[in-house]
Amino acid sequence: MIAPRQPWLYLRAAYSTPTRTFTRPTPPARGTCGTRGTQGTSGTRGTRPVPGTPTAGTARGTRRGAVAACLLAAAGAGTVLAGCGAAPAARPAAPAQPPPLTASYTPAAGTGWAIVEMGGSAAQENNFWELFARPAGAATWKQVTPAGVADNGGLVVAASQAMVTGFLPSQDLTFSPLAASSDNGATWSPAGPVSPGLADVPDALAAGPGGSLIALTSGGAELGQRLGAAWACEVTGLTAAAFGGGGAPMLAAGCARAGTAGIFARTGGAWQLAGPAVPAWLAREDIEVLRLTGDGRGLVALLRAGTGPGASVVAAWWDDGRWALSPPLRAGTLRSTAIGPGGSIAVILNGPQGATLAGPGASWHALPALPRSAAALALGTAGRVDAITARGGTFTDWRLAPAGWSLAQTVQARIPYGSSS
């Protein structure tokens, strides 16, 4: 038997006992995924500190290395983090083009959210990532970014019984504080830190039944259960986490072995390669999973095949025990992604150009020229498509109508200019 060419990848699948009270966490020791602790202070976001957020580190570390996965447990208003060691791995390397953090998600029922970058120059540390929410049945968005923590590095969101937001490392913040909300972002409670910090991918957090969470971190992992199925894929790095049907933990990755879609399911106490079999025209392409989300019944995934200007994206849906694939869309560089009801998907490409996919069995549909400064798309029920623009502190929602884009809403966002310099 030929030995595998890469070191083992591990996941510690350890659920800790839930608690129903938040504690004020201190920064976890280097190499752990977080523990409950005592009072700390935070890297700040303007002048709006939140008690109980953790103390920042002293140096910014890279997040685009090998990615570890930690399973966390949460219940109701409380969160306990299960430890997950993280030591550098020799083989996995970062994708050349990580999935864009600008993203949106709208479930068939429940609160939809969108994350966009706003403010000023990132070079001057005056850029801020903002979270907007739109409850089911509502026509308008509301800014709900948790206050008190610097968010220049980016935000990620997971939603199940509650909405959990993670802050990506930036500047002196070398780990990732979490915040949880059970009222659509009206109020937030600290939910403990994750260290090393969360990976800079839009699905770095996943929420599942019983308040369970999965977090992808920025370090290679060498603790826990062997991800033996990785050899069939030659994993280059984990890119997404999700919970599948029945609450099974899922992980997604980029694969160095051509023609392999790196989606893994934990079944029977072991990790199994569970991605779709790709058609012949993808057999020689490197495939990376950009998005992976559970939709209540199955899974929705967005795959990138190939690299550079000739790369394509393909949607994949898991339902009723089988995978379905969409036709390819020549994508080049993606600027944002959106997942909506019924497995619908939308993307913004360089240009900028927009395209939507209604769901399984549909083909990609090119959108009319997008509004100027369009940053993200958001999908809704009955085929609703919104384009979100973000310029400085102005968030604008444009709704697609038969005659073109129509202004639906303008929000003057609260941007803490100068707070991070």
Helix (DSSP H) and strand (DSSP E) numbers for the chain: 0, 31
- Only one residue has tokens 């550079």, namely 308
Q: What gap in Å lies between CA 262 and CA 235, rounded to an integer?
A: 7
Strands 10-12 and 68-75: parallel
What 3-state DSSP class applies to 282?
A: helix
Which tokens go with 162?
């509650």
Nearest to 137 by CA among 166, 107, 115: 107
Domain extent at residue 30: 10-412
Q: Is the Cβ–Cβ distance between 57 and 44 less than 8 Å?
A: no
At CA 31, angle to CA 153 and CA 123, rounded to 5?
20
2 lies in some domain: no
Q: Which positions ≥6 away from 296 have C-beta within 8 Å?
A: 107, 108
Distance CA(216)–CA(109), nearest Å, equals 26
pLDDT at position 320: 79
Per the domain annotation, does 417 fall within a domain?
Answer: no
What is the full DSSP assignment across 209-268?
GGG-EEEEESS---SSEE-GGGGGTTEEEEEEEEE-GGG-EEEEEEESSTTB-EEEEEET
> Helix or strand or coil: residue 275?
coil
The burial of 399, by beta-carbon neighbours within 10 Å (0-12 exposed, 13-18 middle, 19 or more buried), is given as middle
Asked if residue 376 is part of any domain, the answer here is yes
Q: Which residues contact 320 (CB under 8 A, 6 or more apart)?
A: 298
- Identity of residue 298: G
Tell me whether residue 50 is in a domain: yes
418 in a structural domain? no
Pairing verdict, β 394-401 and 404-412: antiparallel
Rounded-to-integer distance, Cα 150 and Cα 169, Å: 9
Amino acid at 400: L
Token output for 151: 């968010």
0.75 exceeded by pTM = yes
- pLDDT score of 160: 77
**Phi then psi for 383, rounded to 5 degrees?**
75, 15
Q: How many domains does the chain have?
A: 1
Q: What pLDDT does residue 421 have?
A: 58
Would residue 170 count as lying in a domain? yes
Alpha carbons 159 and 154: distance in angstroms, whole number: 17
Q: Is residue 4 part of a domain?
A: no
Q: For residue 333, is it within any domain?
A: yes
293, β-bridge pairs: 300
Averaged pLDDT, groups of 10, the chain, 421 residues long: 27 26 34 35 39 31 45 38 34 59 89 92 82 91 92 90 89 88 92 84 88 78 43 80 86 88 85 89 91 87 91 92 94 92 94 92 96 95 94 95 96 82 58
Residue with the two structure tokens 């202070």: 41
Give the CATH number for residue 148: 2.130.10
